[in-house]
Structure 1
Amino acid sequence: MNQELIQILSQITEEEKRILNVKKEVEKERYTSSKDFVIQKNKMLEEEQLITIRPHTRFIDFPKHKHDYIEVVYVCKGSLTHTINNVPVVLEEGDILFLNQHIYHAIKEAGKEDIAINLIILPHFFDVSFSMIQKDNVLADFLVGILRNASHKEQYLHFKVKGILEIENLLENLVYSLVHDASNNDMINQRVMGLLFLYLVKYSDSLKAGSPNSYEDVIAKAAVNYIDINYKTASLTELAEKLCLSLSSLSRLIASKTGKSFRELLQEKRFEVAISLLAETNLSITDIVVAVGYENNSFFHRKFRERYHMSPKEYREKNRRIR
């Protein structure tokens, strides 16, 4: 990173001076008004701000907390250790950590030469960025979903991108823009973030191995997500092309991570939809066979009986929810 930026980000802040000279304690009132340690966006962002930057506070252990916004941590120099679900997550120089609004984490004390920045981002800042991503990009859709997740599932993404010049340059541009508080730069920053996501998808193998969202896990989850959405027409060949993987590599990875083959996962999903349609609609069985992606009626009936030990007609009579 540019040395001018490193010097700016290395400066001892007023908060750090107080920690060093007065009281080695995190002032929670700087971050939240609630009893739970949930860092609040209105403490971090000015009115109508979508994104801001602040250097990570050093010289103290930062206690367990979460945020009501999305946080992106980037280590410019040195290292930083987070604890997530009681597991250490070590960020080294050049690492990026995306944290959604639902995940609790704590941070070990950082030293003077450990320089990291926190990007504090409202979810709708990403709207422009996400619109830049191809609509049929299976992997991008999954990664974006982690940050946009409307459920309360704890999710994080840890990328190791040191040495990937395209990503390093984009991050430096974004940090420079935010540090110098360039006015009216939201639109530019949103597009820089969009480009950053496109490159992170391109270099998705930079996802940290062993984390809950490692490259292998993300590929497997993206495959399941693809089946959930495209069960009628899904094929392993199409998915492999979308993920730029060979058929054999993708097939092995899916089996390794899910314990099932692509065909088994697809069949499970199709029958899950089929039994729902049998119970909840008046569609004919022939129409249901077509709706879930099968062309061979007799194959569907045979597999249905193997799975449920009755015919589709018998299942409908037994489980019908409409009259």
Structure 2
Amino acid sequence: MKIYKKKFKEYIFSYNEDEEFYRRLFEAEQRSPQTFSLYVNTLDQEYIKRRQLYVPCLHPIWHPYISENTFFKSSSQNIYIVKHNRYSPEFIHEHEFYECFYVYSGACANTIQGKKRVCKTGDLCIIPPKTRHSIAVFDDSIVINIIIKSNAFHSTFFELFANNNALSLFFAYTLYKRTENNYLLFHTRSDEVICSLVEDIYIEFYGHEKYSDPLLDSYLLTFWAILLRRHEKHLESFLNTTHENLALPDILNYFQTHFMDITLSSAAEHFGFSVPHFSKLVKDHTGQNFTKLIRNIRLEKACRALKTTNLSISSICEIIGYTNPEHFNRIFKETFHMTPGEYRKNN
């Protein structure tokens, strides 16, 4: 199916066959809920089955769990993109893959692990595997779903964090370790660049042209990079929604640039928190306490210096904020099971 960029909005706003069915179903229930079951009995059951349509009173259980192998028919396919059917009944489900939904126009109601919220135009939500959720669109709003295999998400999204910095720890902790209310929500608002990239991925997917699969993988990496570059500070997650005005990326990037002489008390004072409260926030958001987090940042900087410079180990020790070389050597060996000198030789 050929979709042209200039006519994309016309295409995406038009109603497809399934949406027409769901709209009639929705309107029938709204007009006369008392006789709705009689209306359902008049529907063509074979048609519903053939098109795999969801009618709650006919399907009390509807795909509550979807495996990756079941959803992706081709082993080479890493991405699936589709418009969320407007007026389709809301149902709670979970799956083995990552799902992103982008509100192209209007708004949608979504529920994640029992918590409800409304997402508006430009919102892009990343939902990790095994997270119970649902999406509801009962007007002319447009929501685009991007389904991504787990290994493809890992190899694109986390490729941007090769240095294992503080922000990557937050993403990894949110998407891997937490088991409740997982999501990352970027408020891109009316960002035309992000919107255009979503359109390009959609058009490429349905074009089915030569080399489409590797090109889609490349698109995905580009999309994450642009998203983080432009909206790293417009991020919300279940971890920071309860802390008003908590700019988590600012905090973690502050750690990244002040690791040499930072202390828990100085960081807490900088962001206006008490030390106990700030310490708990750091642990809740990254899965690591402040001391371990700063130690890992320093060690990452040391590894980079060992691999890319000829600086002496004592100089590197001083640069990353350790005053005692013996203490640095001991921590390095405990972490990497080799001395800094051995690490440099091996790399």
TM-score of the two chains, using structure 1 as the length reference: 0.62
Indicate the SS of the match to 2:92.
strand
Tell me by how many angstroms 1:5 deviates: 1.9
Give the counterpart of 1:90 among 118, 137, 146: 118
How far has the Cα of 1:135 moved from its partner?
1.8
Distance 1:172-1:268 versus aligned 2 partners, 3 A rule = closer
Identity of aligned residues (%): 16
SS in 2 for 1:103: coil
**Is the alpha carbon distance of 1:130 and 1:140 closer, same or farther for their aligned partners in structure 2, counting shifts above 3 Å?**
farther
| Contiguous gaps of at least 5 residues in structure 1 | 227-233, 242-246, 272-292, 298-323
1:253-268 to structure 2, matched below 5 A, reads 258-260=277-279, 265-267=289-291
Distance 1:104 1:142 in 2: 23
1:216 aligned onto 2:243: no
CA drift of 1:40 comes to 3.6
Cα pair distance change 1:8/1:46, threshold 3 Å: farther
Residue in structure 1 matched with residue 103 of structure 2 by the alignment: 75
Structure 2's unaligned 5+ residue stretches are 26-39, 283-288, 296-321, 327-347
CA 14–108 in structure 1, closer or farther in 2 if over 3 Å, else same: same
**How big is the shift at 1:189?**
2.0
1:123-179 deviation per Cα after TM superposition (whole angstroms, max 9, x unaligned): 112344246414226255236525762674552111111233443332222222123
- Tell whether 2:170 aligns with 1:138: no
Shift of 1:296: 10
| Contact persistence 1:61–1:107 (CA under 8 A) | no
> How far apart, in 2, do the equivalents of 1:110 and 1:169 lie?
25
Aligned residue type for 2:111? T
Q: Which of 204, 207, 212 is matched with 1:177 structurally?
A: 204
Summarize the Cα distance change of 1:16–1:159 in structure 2 as closer, same or farther, 3 Å threshold.
same
Amino acid aligned to 1:5: F
CA distance in 2, matches of 1:266, 1:121: 33
Cα 1:180–1:91 change in 2 (3 A) is farther
For residues 254 and 193 of structure 1, what CA distance do their matches in structure 2 show? 37
What's the CA shift for 1:88?
Answer: 2.3
1:19 equivalenced with 2:22 (yes/no): yes
Q: How many residues align?
A: 257
| Aligned alpha-carbon RMSD (Å) | 4.5
1:189 aligns with 2:216: yes
What letter matches 2:79 in structure 1?
Answer: I
Query: What is the 5 A alignment of 1:1-16?
Result: 4-16=7-19
| 1:217–1:162 Cα change, 3 Å | closer
Deviation of residue 56 (structure 1)? 0.5
Deviation at 1:116, TM superposition (A): 0.9
SS of residue paired to 1:81: strand
The 1:54/1:219 distance shift into structure 2, 3 A limit, reads: same
